[in-house]
Amino acid sequence: MVEPKEIMFGKFEIIECLKKDEHSAVYLANHVYLGKKIILKSLNTQTAADEEKIERFKREAKILAMLDHPNIIKVLDFGTYNEFFYISFEYFESRSLRYIIKNNNLSLTQKENLLAQLFKGLAFAHQHQIIHRDIKPENILVDDKFNLKLSDFGLALVMNENFVSGQFSLVGTPCYMSPEQVQGGQLTEKTDLFSAGIVLFELFKGFNPFLGGDINESFNKILEYDENKIADEVTEIPDNYRLILETLLKKEPAERFQSAQSVLELLSFHETNTIEDEEQQPERKKTNRALLIAGVVVLSLVMLILVFMEKERISTAEQMRIDSNKIITDSNAVLPTAEEQSQKMVETSLSKGNKKINDAINGDDFNQKIVEEKKLLEGELYIECLPWANVYINSTHVETTPISENIVLPEGRYSIKLSHPEYPEYIAEVNIKAGQTTNLSVNLESLFGYIDCKIYPWGDVYINETKKGSTPFQSPIKITPGNYLMTIKNPNFKTKSKNITVKQGETLLIEIDLTED
């Protein structure tokens, strides 16, 4: 006798559990009402106490519901059932691009086709103001006919909307992040283009050039690599793809392509969504190759001219920056206030032991003069900060954690500021002693205050007119210490507001009964 299959949420007949952990699961299932296979994702909100995880789950459903494109996985249904959230997706029988890269000897035509489909999906998402933020081979699905679909929009961001993880959040897969992602900068669609550039590199070379032994090593590789030498590693790929790759992997977003559509216009093969075996299309292949060769010659000439012009622009801008720095430092020398004398001590020390930091402050000639004029006893400063921060010494930005080596400073007292766009600033004074290492370890999470809202029956919570969500919350609201106006709204009751003060490391309990006048 065949055992009846499990029915979940009243309409999903479970065929197989594909993945499961303490809080969530992914199933292959039959949709009882639609009569077809689907992929079912579920999240238990009672065991998943992390409010951010719940919000990301809901966000993925909301975002994918906005996107209907042949190169993006489609949402069929989403909702709640008791303590569960669930999403059902179209069933796309496929493997990840990671598997395809490892196990298939892809032809150039097949690689071109896959790239065209990837950038079509990205172009459509970006046109709808969606940044994926986690482009990598594991999130790109390919079937046996080489149809491609983008998946896993759990970290995606709608531009100009305020989600749990905003435009300045450090989220994603480390070795596929853009430099601005690693540094916690503002993100645009160009961060996806950088990640897609890594996928392009991997498709042709079989490995990720930014993969390190740990997260910090991957971050350092992304921030410190020489973008002008990337072409040296891919000399064997066609010229047009090498130039596309160089432009996608520019460190500065402004120097990358303007959009995924711009990349599509340069790809030699992007009109079809499927690809046949090459031996089934000999005549079309000959025609494509002839057009490709002609296109490469013309495109290469144009791109080489553009690259030359860009290098000239960068060279001119760099010379202007150096000249500007010299003017600034000369100006500082004219006004030797006490604060500037302290600043000059920082610059002198950095010129001796930390050239990279030193160059960020003044020109080499100026530093050399200081070194020759004054020799100081030095100590070292080691900074460890979670999750990461920009480091300021006496108001000058000198590093971004994690730092690769200790900061060398003359003996004395210094003002230290650690700054992260999503955390309160940490400010302290340190005393550097000659021949000793001063350690500074900071967890920025400890700088927050918290608001625990007990609202009856329920309410939308606004802090300084910004909506924080609807009660009941899974956990207290995390917020920078300070004074705020809190407003509670429920369409069935009178809106209530009150001024509150949140203190660092403390939880403020707010209890409001909207039924009371």
User: Where in the sequence numbering do the catalytic residues fall?
Assistant: 134
In b/e form, how buried is each residue of 458-495, taking b as 16+ CB within 10 angstroms? Answer: ebbbbbeeeebeebebeebbbbebeebebbbbbeebee
- Contact by Cβ (8 Å): 197, 243: no
Residue 467 DSSP SS3:
strand
- Contact by Cβ (8 Å): 137, 285: no
Nearest by Cα to 54 from 89, 84, 19, 88 = 84
C-alpha–C-alpha distance, residues 380 and 399, integer Å: 14
C-alpha–C-alpha distance, residues 458 and 489, integer Å: 9
Look up residue 256 and give its two tokens. 């990358």
362 vs 39, 356, 378, 397, CA distance in Å? 57, 11, 20, 12
C-alpha–C-alpha distance, residues 381 and 4, integer Å: 66
In which element (H, E) is residue 286 found?
Answer: helix 282-334
Residue 457 DSSP SS3:
coil
Using CB atoms within 10 Å of the CB of residue 343, give its burial: 0 to 12 exposed, 13 to 18 middle, 19+ buried.
middle
517 vs 6, 457, 494, CA distance in Å? 49, 14, 8
* Cα distance from N-terminal residue to C-terminal residue, the chain: 64
Q: How many CB atoms lie within 10 A of CB 442?
A: 18
In which element (H, E) is residue 442 found?
Answer: strand 437-443
Phi, psi of 294 (to 5 degrees): -65, -40
Q: How many CB atoms lie within 10 A of CB 446?
A: 12
